[in-house]
Amino acid sequence: MATLEVHIEEPVTFVIFGATGDLTRRKLVPALYTLFKEGALASDFTIIGFARRDYEGTKFCNLIAESLHEHSRTPVDEDSLQAFCSHLTYHRGDLSDAAAYAELKKKLADSALPANRLFYLSIMPHLIEPVMDQLKTAELITPPGTGPWTRVVVEKPFGRDMKSAQALNETLLKYLDETQIYRIDHYLGKETVQNILSFRFANTIFEPVFNRTYVDHIQITASETVGMESGRGAYYDEYGALRDMVANHLFQLVALAAMEAPEGLSARSIRNEKVKLLQALKLAPSTPEHPSVCFGQYSGNTDTKAFRDEDRVDPSSTTETFAALRMEISNWRWADVPVYLRTGKRMAKKSTEIVIQFKTPPLSLFQHVACKGDVCDLTGVKPNTLIFRIQPDEGIFLQVSAKRPSMQLVVESVNMDFSYSGRWEKALPEAYERLLLDAMRGDSTLFTRSDEVEAEWNVIDTVLAAAADTKPLPYTPGAWGPAEANALLLNGAQWRNE
Ligand SMILES: NC(=O)c1ccc[n+]([C@@H]2O[C@H](COP(=O)([O-])OP(=O)(O)OC[C@H]3O[C@@H](n4cnc5c(N)ncnc54)[C@H](OP(=O)(O)O)[C@@H]3O)[C@@H](O)[C@H]2O)c1
């Protein structure tokens, strides 16, 4: 089997808080299993699963086996499974119960267990503070630079507005140094997202045209076809598309696509540039013809339920399942270049892509070519478009105009493609594999720093204020959101609905 070309030497004890939950079963355990099977983990790693339900003894291994059979991208064989299970133990207890931490401390004191500790908080946000308090009281957190390390991985959401994000940061920073905190935005673990920086800064030909002189607009779409199938209706009804997707994933994509070149590849340099970009990101002013915010909520049809009829969703919910924004970046490079963002559930296609739409050539030489029939449609030169396809069909596509073979001078838009599957046979690593590995080896480049999180919520607060009286517009399942989202676009721009 192909390896991940990496091996962690340092032994780690990995404690998963919320070990019986959906995220652990669907993402964390399969990622850890792949890392284990590919030889990326130190030989004496340990995983302790912490939750309330009774999975003690062999039951925990059975739960893990079930999760792996359902979700692992790496084939599961009995020998590897048993070997993997020999590294697992279950710790049954309530997260608010001090006695459970005293017991955990006893387990962790076992000299056979690696002294480096990675606490993975796969739990609801309201439990983070009590867990941190308990870990501190039980003296399970070692300060940085004093022998074996303690790191804490935190799952999104990192708040639901600026105030709560600041409160969460305060909670974490009360007992931890920023260097010990790993806030996961799993989009950053995707290969194609990391490639944005390589593409921009390992080549010379694109960077000179990444600016207001050449770029007409940027648009980022993260559309999903699913609704609330994953049983996350209650969570989603509380957070909605803006907080769930825009506040983190989409803003991170804007930051990577538009930030200045970092001085180096250290976590600090890259995050410094991202935060500068996020601080310059603003909601564009709204006009009656061109609003800058559009919210939608999917209705139902014969095949699918309306959002309001989904399990654990308020039947009179006004939560948006679609959000589109027109943003701007107030810096020298990007002034006056609209940045369009949209995301939603139950849309036409599952796709995440960043589109850099360049301006049309200054002279339209090809508009008056004699032609017949539908060939005429091809004579207008289309602007160049650079597309970073994050998922599916990961790759980078550049649309250019080329002469179509014919006796006439007819120009057609063609693609220059780079696709991962066409270039490399190896399956792309899952985002969680990369991120777990990075947290274990202490590389925080692909995690979000507290000032980035606050810069993101600062923008979201202005969107929430601007949209305070906005009710989401209905859209039919399988559409690209409400038609009203088209009004956000300026100067004849169109959403790329492909
Ligand atoms: N699921 C996803 O796809 C996803 C994606 C992105 C982010 N996240 C984030 O990841 C976190 C976990 O999400 P999830 O979907 O896995 O949630 P979940 O399925 O509800 O799991 C929650 C876990 O917490 C445990 N738990 C809850 N209260 C506890 C208590 N008082 N004491 C001990 N254990 C307790 C539960 O175990 P017991 O019931 O056995 O105690 C369960 O293992 C959340 O912050 C979520 O926002 C999830």
Which mutation among 48, 59, 92, 124 tests ligand 1's pocket best, with the greatest number of atoms within 8 A of CB?
A: 124
Task: Name the nearest CA neighbour of 132 among 90, 91, 92, 101.
Answer: 101
| Co-location of 253 and 124 in the same domain | no
Cβ of 20 closer than 6 Å to ligand 1, yes or no, is: yes
Q: Which of 91, 186, 217, 249 is catalytic?
A: 249
CA distances from 238 to 185, 233, 306 (A): 19, 9, 16
Cα 61 to ligand 1 centre (Å):
19
Beta carbons of 342 and 322 less than 8 angstroms apart: yes
Backbone phi and psi for residue 324, each to the nearest 5 degrees, phi listed first: -130, 140
Domain boundary among the residues 132, 155, 178 is at 155
For the chain, what percent of residues have pLDDT higher than 90? 82
Q: Enumerate residues 6+ apart whose C-beta is below 8 A from 340.
A: 217, 218, 219, 220, 324, 325, 326, 327, 488, 489, 493, 495
d(CA 284, CA 338) in angstroms, rounded, equals: 8
The string of pLDDT tens digits covering residues 271-312 is 999 999 999 999 999 999 999 999 999 999 998 999 999 999
d(CA 427, CA 323) in angstroms, rounded, equals: 32
Atom 48, ligand 1: which residue's CA is nearest? 23
| Co-location of 315 and 271 in the same domain | yes
249 catalytic, yes or no?
A: yes
Predicted pLDDT of residue 146: 76
Within a domain: 165: no
Q: How confident is the model at residue 404 (pLDDT cuts 50, 70, 90)?
A: confident
Atom 46, ligand 1: which residue's CA is nearest? 124
- Atom number of ligand 1 nearest to Cα 24: 16
Predicted pLDDT of residue 380: 67
d(CA 151, CA 138) in angstroms, rounded, equals: 16
Within a domain: 394: yes
| Co-location of 143 and 206 in the same domain | no
Which mutation among 15, 63, 64, 122 tests ligand 1's pocket best, with the greatest number of atoms within 8 A of CB?
A: 122
* Mean pLDDT of the residues in the chain: 92
Within a domain: 344: yes
Which mutation among 15, 17, 22 tests ligand 1's pocket best, with the greatest number of atoms within 8 A of CB?
A: 22
Flag whether pLDDT at 377 surpasses 90.
Answer: no
Flag whether pLDDT at 196 surpasses 70.
Answer: yes
| Co-location of 107 and 246 in the same domain | no
Predicted pLDDT of residue 374: 53
Q: How confident is the model at residue 429 (pLDDT cuts 50, 70, 90)?
A: confident
Q: Which two tokens stand for residue 1?
A: 């089997």
Of 70-79, 123-132, 297-306, 424-433, which gets the smallest average pLDDT?
424-433
Cβ of 18 closer than 6 Å to ligand 1, yes or no, is: yes
Beta carbons of 434 and 189 less than 8 angstroms apart: yes
Cβ of 54 closer than 6 Å to ligand 1, yes or no, is: no
> DSSP string spanning 24-83?
IIIIIHHHHHHHHHTT-S-TT-EEEEEESS--TTHHHHHHHHHHHHHH-SSPP-HHHHHH
The string of pLDDT tens digits covering residues 314-329 is 999 999 999 999 999 9
Flag whether pLDDT at 51 surpasses 90.
Answer: yes
Within a domain: 199: yes
Cβ of 244 closer than 6 Å to ligand 1, yes or no, is: no
Beta carbons of 210 and 386 less than 8 angstroms apart: no
| Co-location of 150 and 196 in the same domain | no
Q: Name the residue with higher pLDDT: 1 or 378.
A: 378
Q: How confident is the model at residue 367 (pLDDT cuts 50, 70, 90)?
A: low
Domain boundary among the residues 131, 155, 179 is at 155
Cα 127 to ligand 1 centre (Å):
10
Q: Enumerate residues 6+ apart whose C-beta is below 8 A from 104.
A: 15, 48, 50, 91, 93, 138, 140
d(CA 483, CA 495) in angstroms, rounded, equals: 11
| Co-location of 203 and 144 in the same domain | no
Within a domain: 335: yes
| Co-location of 93 and 193 in the same domain | no
Cα 98 to ligand 1 centre (Å):
19
| Co-location of 243 and 133 in the same domain | no
Flag whether pLDDT at 90 surpasses 70.
Answer: yes
Structural domains in the chain (count): 2
Which mutation among 52, 123, 232, 244 tests ligand 1's pocket best, with the greatest number of atoms within 8 A of CB?
A: 123
Flag whether pLDDT at 3 surpasses 70.
Answer: no
Q: Enumerate residues 6+ apart whose C-beta is below 8 A from 70.
A: 25
**CB 373: neighbour CB atoms within 10 A?**
6
Of 166-180, 243-257, 417-431, which gets the smallest average pLDDT?
417-431
Within a domain: 173: no
| Co-location of 200 and 346 in the same domain | yes
Cβ of 97 closer than 6 Å to ligand 1, yes or no, is: no
Q: Enumerate residues 6+ apart whose C-beta is below 8 A from 381.
A: 360, 361, 364, 365, 366, 367, 401, 411
Task: Supply the CATH number for residue 404's domain.
Answer: 3.30.360.10
Predicted pLDDT of residue 409: 73
Cα 124 to ligand 1 centre (Å):
6
Atom 45, ligand 1: which residue's CA is nearest? 124
Cβ of 51 closer than 6 Å to ligand 1, yes or no, is: yes
Q: Name the residue with higher pLDDT: 230 or 116.
A: 116
- Residue range 449-477: mean pLDDT, rounded: 95
Task: Name the nearest CA neighbour of 432 among 14, 128, 140.
Answer: 14
| Co-location of 468 and 329 in the same domain | yes
Cβ of 19 closer than 6 Å to ligand 1, yes or no, is: yes
- Residue 32: exposed, middle, or buried by beta-carbon count in 10 A (0-12, 13-18, 19+)? buried
Cβ of 123 closer than 6 Å to ligand 1, yes or no, is: yes
Among left, alpha and beta (phi > 0; psi -120 to 50; other), residue 373 is left
Within a domain: 160: no
Cα 271 to ligand 1 centre (Å):
28
- Residue range 420-433: mean pLDDT, rounded: 86
d(CA 159, CA 52) in angstroms, rounded, equals: 25
Predicted pLDDT of residue 111: 81
Flag whether pLDDT at 460 surpasses 90.
Answer: yes
**Parallel/antiparallel/unpaired status of strands 411-419 and 395-403:** antiparallel
Within a domain: 227: yes
Give the orientation angle of helix 78-85 with respect to helix 29-37, to 10 degrees. Answer: 110
Backbone phi and psi for residue 477, each to the nearest 5 degrees, phi listed first: -55, 140
| Co-location of 102 and 239 in the same domain | no
For the chain, what percent of residues have pLDDT higher than 70? 96
Predicted pLDDT of residue 70: 95
| Co-location of 138 and 208 in the same domain | no
CA distances from 432 to 34, 55, 397 (A): 10, 24, 26
Domain extent for 295: 188-488
Could you check whether the bond before residue 392 is cis, i.e. omega within 30 degrees of 0? yes
Cβ of 229 closer than 6 Å to ligand 1, yes or no, is: no
Cα 153 to ligand 1 centre (Å):
14
Task: Supply the CATH number for residue 145's domain.
Answer: 3.40.50.720
